[in-house]
Structure 1
Amino acid sequence: MPAPLAGERAEWSAEFGRRFTVFVDTEEEFDWRAPLSRGNRQVTAMRAIPAAHARFAEWAVPLTYMADHPAVAEPAGADILRGVLADGRSAIGAQLHAWVTPPFAETLTPANSFAGNLPEGLEAAKLDALTSAITEATGAAPIAFRAGRYGLGRNSLRLLAERGYRLDSSVRAYYDYGGEGGPDFRSIGNAAFWRDGILELPFTTLFTGRARVGGTRLFDQLGRVPRGRGIAARLGLLSRVSLTPEDMPLSDVLEAIAVADGEGLRMLNFAFHSPSLAPGHTPYVRDAGDLRLFWRWWDEVLAALDRRSIRPASLHDVLAAATPSVGGGPGTHLTEA
């Protein structure tokens, strides 16, 4: 995916200040070590959402629930989402897991798990099925989107804009999924930008350590050396840190927040998966001890953000505050292949 042009960059209104948002990938449960299966549709971990929602509410943090097809196809899941959306600040979004979203016309392969690799007509049909299911289940049409496995393709943003979506958060800044058949985001940083009529809000990733100015280039070079990235991280030279409690240590994330604050980054985008709210469904929260650490991570991170006057933002806050750059804006530049 090409880096944003100068005219595509989004600007934030002066009164917006410095903000953060939290997206919850609200999805089915599956074995993360096993091949993907269309039969994985259980959403029992969603029962933990109301209590988790209340904990975030204590910090006045609204959540955006990026729901996939199983999460809203099950009546219990739909009931839970309607309940938490009643706070008036949280929002519903869509997350397209192609392998569990009808129509099932594609062969189930790793490459086809990235929805953007599918033929345009099939990607559109799955997006329509997901959008309709969410709207029917929650009474609200989703306007934010995330592709499962961050699987954007050359048609994805245009298809979203045609269906009334306004924001996408499928880009994971500085990550490359090309080895698995997915997109390459190494040239894209954390700044929000407009493309194909959609506001792209990347999942925030920071480089930390004494050699962090080396960024993606140095990180790629270390990847060619056996255990190079791990050694660099342990020596405090370079780490790549995403803003998530899943596989990102608390100390690393607190340092990343400090780096973002020092660099004047106006918008931080956090995320986690809903099955991590209950033990045993993700590799990040395997037992009750891991769940305690998960919540300690959030308590410490939210306290650090508060000390730095980085305030929470709802989805609608974000959309209201993002404006086009001078000479740019929605639809100005088309996504290249």
Structure 2
Amino acid sequence: MPAPGAGAGVHWPDDFGTRFTIFVDTEEEFDWGAPLSADADGTRHMAALPPVHARFAAAGAALTYLADYPIATSPLAVEVLREVVKDGRSAIGTQLHPWVNPPHEEEVNGFNSFTGNLPLALQRAKLAALTDAVTRIAGRRPLVYRAGRYGIGPDTAALLAELGYRIDSSMRSAYDYSDEGGPDFSAVPNHAFHLGELVELPFTTVFTGRLRRGGARLHRNLAHLPRGIGIASRLGLLSRVALTPEDMPLDEAREAVRVAVGEGLRLLNFAFHSPSVEPGHTPYVRNEADLAAFLRWWEEVLALLDKLGVRSASVDEIIAAACRPA
């Protein structure tokens, strides 16, 4: 993915301030260490979501649930989502996992798990099926989308615009999935920018440490050295920190938030996977101790954001601010 062109950046109005958003990859349960399967469609973890959502609501944080097809067609998940968005600020968007999203015409494999690699007609059909399913449960057409596995392609923006989307969040700043057949986001910045008719909100990645100005290029070079990335991180030279509790230590996340705010990032984009709200479904939350650490991570990070004056932004607030003159 190329860097956005000159003038593509979103010019946030002054009264928008510095804000944060939390997108939840709301998806089926599957074995992260096994090959992908079209039969993996469990959604029982959604029963554990309401008390977790209540913690965010109490802190004034809006959540955007990016529902994929198994979620959008699960009676349990639908009931839970309809209930939690009654807080008045949270919303339901879409996330496309092509291997569990009809029509099923492609071979299920790693390359085809990146939606942007599929034939255009099949991409359109899968996205339309997902959009219709989420429209039925949300009572309105979804406005925000994320490609599963960040599998955006050259046709994604135009397809989303056709279906009335306003926001895409399929890019993960400073990450490279090209070895797996996916996109390379090494040149993608953290700041929001216009992508055709859409606003692109990359999943925020912050480099911390004394060599953080080296960014993605230095991090990639360190990967070619034995234990280079780990040594650089332990020495406080360079760490790549995504804004998620999943595999990102609390102290590093807090420092990343401070760096992002200090460097003037106007919208910090956080994320997590919905199955992490119940132990046993993701590598990040295997037991009750992991869940307690997951919840504490959010408690501490939300407290820091509040201390720094960084407020939550809902999808509607982002669209209103990004689409009006600065």
Normalising by structure 2, we get a TM-score of 0.98
SS at match of 1:66: strand
1:324 deviation in Å?
Answer: 7.3
Give 3-state SS (helix, strand or coil) of 2:61's partner: coil
**What does residue 28 of structure 2 align with?**
28
Deviation at 1:140, TM superposition (A): 2.3
Match of 2:168 in 1: 168
Q: Deviations over 1:258-317 (max 9, x none)?
A: 101210111100000000000000000000000000011001000000110011111111
Q: Is the 8 A contact 1:9 1:324 kept in 2?
A: no
Q: Which residue of 1 aligns with 2:267?
A: 267
1:55-204 map, 5 Å: 55-204=55-204
Match of 1:217 in 2: 217
Summarize deviations over 1:109-161 as a string: whole Å, max 9, x none: 10000000000000000000000111112322111000000000010111000
Let me know the Cα RMSD of the aligned residues. 1.0
Aligned partners of 2:134 and 2:142 also within 8 Å: yes
Given residue 27 of structure 1, which amino acid in structure 2 is its aligned partner? E
- The equivalent of 1:332 in structure 2 is none
Amino acid at match of 2:71: A
CA contact 1:13–1:323 (8 Å) conserved in 2: no
Contact 1:10/1:325, CA 8 A, preserved across alignment: no
Tell me how far apart the structure 2 counterparts of residues 252 and 147 of structure 1 sit (CA, whole Å).
27
Q: Is the 8 A contact 2:57 2:87 kept in 1?
A: no
Q: Distance in 2 between matches of 1:86 and 1:59?
A: 16
Match of 1:330 in 2: none
| Helix, strand or coil at the partner of 1:86 | helix
Aligned to 2:240: 240
- Distance in structure 1 (CA, Å) of the matches to 2:323 and 2:145: 19
Q: Name the amino acid aligned to 1:285.
A: V
The aligned residue for residue 297 of structure 2 is 297
- CA apart distance, 1:325: 8.2
Deviation by residue 1:65-120 (Cα, 9 ceiling, x = unmatched): 00000001111111111111122211110000000000000011100000000000
Partner of 1:9: 9
8 Å contact from structure 1 (residues 12, 323) kept in 2: no
- Could you tell me which runs of 5 or more consecutive residues in structure 2 were left unpaired when the two chains were aligned: none
Structure 1 counterpart of 2:124, which letter?
A
Tell me which stretches of 4 or more aligned residues in structure 1 moved more than 2 Å: 323-326
Query: What is the Cα deviation at residue 323 of structure 1?
Result: 3.9
d(CA) in 1 for partners of 2:214, 2:207: 9
Is the 8 Å Cα contact of residues 13 and 325 (structure 2) preserved in structure 1?
no
Ranges in structure 1 where 5+ consecutive residues have no aligned partner:
327-337
1 CA distance for matches of 2:65 and 2:18?
Answer: 22
Query: Matched residue of 1:282: which SS?
Result: coil
The higher relative CO (CA closer than 8 Å, separation ≥ 6) is in 1
Question: Matches of 1:140 and 1:311 in 2, distance apart?
Answer: 26
Paired residue type of 2:54: A
SS in 1 for 2:264: coil
Identity between Structure 1 and Structure 2 (%): 58
Partner of 1:333: none
Q: Deviations over 1:173-198 (max 9, x none)?
A: 01100000000100011011111211
Query: For residues 40-70 of structure 1, what are the alpha-carbon distances to aligned partners after superposition, in whole Å with 9 as ceiling and x for unaligned?
Result: 0010011111111111011011110000000
**Does the CA-based 8 Å contact 1:174-1:189 persist in structure 2?**
yes
Aligned residue in 2 for 1:43: 43
Question: Secondary structure in 1 aligned to 2:275?
Answer: helix
1:229 paired with 2:229, answer: yes
- Maintained 8 Å contact 1:8/1:324: no
Quote the offset at 1:212 in angstroms: 0.5
Q: What corresponds to 2:319 in structure 1?
A: 319
Contact 1:7 1:325 (8 Å CA) reproduced? no
Residue type at the aligned position of 1:62: A
